[in-house]
Amino acid sequence: MTLAALTSPFVLRELLRPSLGRRSRVGWVLPRLWPYRSADASTRLRAYDLWGPLNALGVSAELYRPFLNYGAVVFQKAFEPHHLALARRLRAKGVKIVLDLNVNYVDFDPEFAPEYKRRALDLMLPETDALIVSSGELERVYRGRVPRVVMVPDPVPAGLFPSAKVHAGTRGLRLVYCGYAVKAREVLAIAPVLRRVCAQHDARVLFVCEKDPKLPGLPSEFKRYSQRSLAAAFAAADIAIAPRDLSRPYNLGHSAVKVALPMAAGLPAVASPVPSYEGSPALLCRSDEEWESALTSLILDPERRAALGAAGRVFARRELDVPVVAARYAAALRQVLLP
């Protein structure tokens, strides 16, 4: 545990908060304990953001404390050797073990699903009573490897975006990519398209990341990611882009949050056809020609941008707002806690 975490009001509140009875109490074990603003995105979305709403729904959700008894313990993307040892000790006491994953570790990926993580997960899965995953593709990948696999999507906090983007103009627009800098290089797959579109319409690519990805050959700007300033960053943008290399199984398992977050702010989204994006208002493109056509049509039509942005905002609130996702998570946990 870091000093920053120990002095974080959020973490201190969780450590000191009174707990309820053992049967309804669920503890969360995290891969790393950081203050809210410094935590990994998956920890914010699949732990910190859910605890309050889960408690309101009658599930006592909290940071795991070793001196308390629990009905179930959720290991959020936590399956290193010391996590495995803890899971085995808890399971021997009759505690239900839940593993929460947002990554396909079954199929090898040299960068995000290396062999050592796959081996560690192979040891953790036999100790797991239920697996909660963030997309339908991951549900398919992990089905049959544990007794129960449930899909609960990543939440999108609608409260981050109290007002919708106002769309106007056809020149000087910003195409926003929001995510980790290490993954921003996927934008290079459509770099020729972006260069043409930006040159023709005086547009730029806006990267909202934890650090500048410094991608060459693109007319771009950079804003440092901050939860507090995310609404302002999206308000300064016009169209969200989310290209993915779908030849990598890792990318097929992503949740919809990459497109749903900017859609919640009222931005239209143009993306690769990740399975979890299907059924959303995002425009899905399978070729450079489709990318160029989609971006060009949106740039030239503010009314269409506004209409798609409004549809995306409704979709994000209806399907992925925190209370909606918390209700699904609570239902999954209650199934695990049943005798």
Instruction: Pick 273 or 228 by higher pLDDT.
Output: 273
Model confidence at 292: pLDDT above 60: yes
Check whether residue 140 and residue 163 sit in a common domain: no
Sequence letter at residue 174: R
pLDDT-derived band at 20, boundaries 50, 70, 90 = very low
110 lies in the same domain as 181: no
Q: 157: which 2 tokens?
A: 């906090």
Q: What's the pLDDT tens digit per position in 126-148?
A: 999 999 999 999 999 999 999 99
Determine contact, residues 242/260, Cβ cutoff 8 Å. no
State whether 189 and 285 are in the same domain.
Answer: yes
pLDDT at 9: 53
- pLDDT category at 242 given cuts 50, 70, 90 is very high
Distance in angstroms (rounded) separating the CA atoms of residues 291 and 60: 46
By the 10 Å C-beta count (0-12 exposed, 13-18 middle, 19+ buried), 31 is classed as: middle
pLDDT beyond 50 at 99: yes
Q: Are residues 256 and 295 in the same domain?
A: yes
Clarify whether residues 264 and 274 are in a common domain.
yes
- Closest by CA position to 95, among listed 141, 130, 136: 130
The pTM (predicted TM-score) of the whole model is 0.91
Same domain, yes or no, for 107 and 200?
no
What pLDDT does 23 receive? 53
Q: In whole angstroms, what is the distance from residue 285 CA to residue 271 CA? A: 6
CA angle (191, 195, 196) in 5-degree steps: 120
Whether 61 and 54 have beta carbons less than 8 Å apart is answered as: yes
Task: Give me the pLDDT at residue 325, please.
Answer: 98
Question: Do 12 and 129 fall into the same domain?
Answer: yes
> In whole angstroms, what is the distance from residue 336 CA to residue 339 CA?
8
Q: Report the number of distinct structural domains present in the chain.
A: 2
pLDDT score at 293: 99
- By mean pLDDT, which of 6-10, 215-219, 267-271, 320-324 is the weakest? 6-10
Q: Are residues 172 and 284 in the same domain?
A: yes
Residue 8 has pLDDT above 60, yes or no: no
User: 147: which 2 tokens?
Assistant: 């007794």
CATH code: domain of residue 187: 3.40.50.2000
Mean pLDDT of the chain, nearest integer: 93
Maximum alpha-carbon separation in the chain = 65
- DSSP secondary structure letters along 108-138: -BTTTB-HHHHHHHHHHGGG-SEEEESSHHH
Collect all residues with Cβ–Cβ distance below 8 Å to 232 and sequence separation of at least 6. Answer: none
Whether residues 195 and 277 fall in one domain: yes
Residues 53 and 115 in one domain: yes
Q: Can you say whether residue 141 is alpha, beta or left, with left for phi > 0 and alpha for psi between -120 and 50 degrees?
A: alpha
Q: What is the rounded distance in angstroms from the CA atom of residue 64 to the CA atom of residue 50?
A: 14
> Do 105 and 183 belong together in one domain?
no
Residue 21 has a pLDDT of 45
Average pLDDT over residues 241-263: 97
Tokens coding 93:
């006491």
Which domain, by its residues, includes 134? 3-155+321-337
Does position 76 have pLDDT exceeding 70, yes or no?
A: yes
Would you tell me the crossing angle of helices 302-320 and 288-299 to the nearest 10 degrees? 110
Quick one: pLDDT band at residue 256, thresholds 50, 70, 90? very high
Among candidate residues 152, 154, 134, 158, the one with its CA nearest the CA of residue 264? 158
Determine whether 315 is exposed, middle or buried from the number of CB atoms within 10 Å of its CB (0-12, 13-18, 19+).
buried
pLDDT tens-digit series, residues 314-336: 999 999 999 999 999 999 999 99
d(CA 297, CA 316): 23
Q: Are residues 145 and 206 in the same domain?
A: no
